[in-house]
Structure 1
C-alpha cells in the first residue's frame, strides 16, 4: 500500500495515476474542508494522533512508501511524516509544486509569515484582498483601520477583521473575474502556494499594476522531493 498525504490537486492526480497502474493507494485528508474534492481509490479523513500515531498506522497497514503531497503550508503533517518515516524506515517522498516566480510587471512584497504580513500591510494599502485561508485570518483581526475583501472555501470563525466582506469560493479562478475583485482594493495578500489553480489573481494584479504581498513558504524537513506527479509516480513504482 502507498499512503498519499493529500488535499491538493497534485495528490488527486497522483492517486489517479497510481490506481490506473493497479497500485493500492490510500489518500489521507486532514478534514479541514467541509466538502473536499475526493481522489480515486481509498480515502481516510482525519489526523493520525501525532508522530507516534502515524508511525503505528504505517506499521499496522503494511505501508511500503509515503508521499507527502500536502499543501506547501501544511507544516505539522509534513514534520510528522518525516519523523514517522524515520522511525519506521519507510521511504518518504515530498511532492511539492514549485513556488511562484515574479515576472515583468509584478510588484511583489514578501512577508516571512502571516504576522509579518499584518505588520507590513498598513503601509501598503487600506483596502485588502485577502486570500490566505480562513485559519490565518486572526493574524489580521486587529487591523481596524483597514478594509478586507476575504475569500476562503468554508465560513471562517472569529476573530475576523472588523471591516470586511466575505466571499466563499473554491478555485480554479478566471483572470477576468479576479480583475473585477482586484479593482476594488489596493493590494492582494496571499500565500506562495504555487501552481495554476489560484494563480489568476497574480495575473490580474500584474495587469492592473496592483501590489502583492506574498507570504513565504515555511521550511520543510529535508526529504527526497519531486516537483511533478510524473516524477512521483516513477518514484513509487521503483519502491
Structure 2
C-alpha cells in the first residue's frame, strides 16, 4: 500500500478473532481493538488494544496516528454506534472499510418467533402470558426489563449487570458456546415459557433456539439495527480475507 500498511480490526466476536489469526498468518500487519466491556475477554492473535476511541473524531485521529490503511468492522451485529463511527472516520480519511457480519438467524416452520424492532419492544412484549423468561440479550440491555413485574427472569450474562433489574429474577453467569442438551435442560428445569434474545446469528448460541423449538417455547427475537447505507459487507472470514488480499496484494510469505 502506498501510504499506510496496517489493518485495524474492530473486534470482540469470534469472527474477529478468526480473521486476526488469518490476516496475521498471511503476513498482514494487524491490530485488533476491543471495546473493553467484557472482563477477561478472549484475546485474538497479534497486537491488541483495549478501550474506546472517544467517538468518531477519536477513531479518525487514532487511525491517522497509527498508520492504519484498512479497517474491518467485525463487531457484534448490534454494536451500531461503533459501526457508525467507523463509517464516518474512514470516509473522512478515505480508507477502505469492510463489515464482517455473521448471517442472521431465520425461523423455521416449527419455530414460534415474535420479532420486535428493539429491546424496549421486547420488554413490552413480555405481558402476563409469559411468567418465566430466559433473558439472553446481554448485560447492557437488562435495564429495559426492570419495570416488568409480571414475570420471573433467568438472566444469563457473562459479566454481572450494572443496570436496574426486574423485581423477580435470578442471575446465571455463563459464557458460550452452548450445546443442545444443556440448553434443553436449562429451559426444562426452569420451566421457561419464553426466550428473549437478539438476532446475533452464528453457531455459538444457536442451540437455545433449537431447544426452544423442540420444547415449544416462544422466542421474542430482537431484529438487528439497520446497517449504514453503502457499507461493504461480507458474512464469513474467507470472503473477508479475499477482500483483504486485494487491499494488501503483497503481504509477504504465507
Structure 1 and Structure 2 fold alike (TM over 0.5): yes
Question: C-alpha displacement at 1:124, in angstroms?
Answer: 4.2
Kindly tell me the number of residue pairs found equivalent between the two proteins: 239
C-alpha distance in 2, partners of 1:55/1:156? Answer: 31
Once the two structures are superposed, residues 71-110 of structure 1 have per-residue CA deviations (whole angstroms, 9 ceiling, x without a partner) of: 0000110000000011000000000111001113111001
Q: Tell me if the contact between 1:191 and 1:216 (Cα under 8 Å) persists in the aligned partners.
A: yes
What are the equivalent positions in structure 2 for 1:128-139 lying under 5 Å apart?
128-139=133-144
Counterpart in the other structure of 2:67: 62
1:237 maps to: 245
Distance 2:129 2:138 in 1: 20
TM-score, normalised relative to structure 2: 0.93
C-alpha spacing 1:234/1:124, structure 2 compared with 1 (3 Å): farther
2:113–2:219 CA contact under 8 A, matched in 1: yes
Which of 217, 226, 230 does residue 224 from structure 2 map onto? 217
Work out whether 1:207 is the aligned partner of 2:214.
yes
CA distance in 2, matches of 1:107, 1:53: 43
TM-score normalised by L of structure 1? 0.98
CA contact (8 A) 1:124 1:187 kept: no
Deviations along 1:102-153, one digit per CA (max 9) or x if unpaired, are 1131110011101001111115411100000000001000111210011000
* Aligned pairs for 1:88-167 within 5 A: 88-167=93-172
Supply the distance in 2 between the matched residues of 1:191 and 1:157 (Cα, whole angstroms). Answer: 19
Query: RMSD value over aligned CA atoms?
Result: 0.8
> Unpaired runs of 5+ in structure 2?
1-5, 248-254
- Partners of 2:51 and 2:129 in 1: how far apart? 38
Whether the aligned pair in 2 keeps the contact of 1:69 and 1:95 (CA below 8 Å) is: yes
Aligned residue for 2:11?
6
- Structure 1 residues without counterparts, runs of 5 or longer: none
Runs of 4+ displaced beyond 4 Å = none
Distance in 2, Cα, partners of 1:114 & 1:180: 26
Provide the rounded CA distance (Å) in 1 between the counterparts of 2:84 and 2:234. Answer: 17
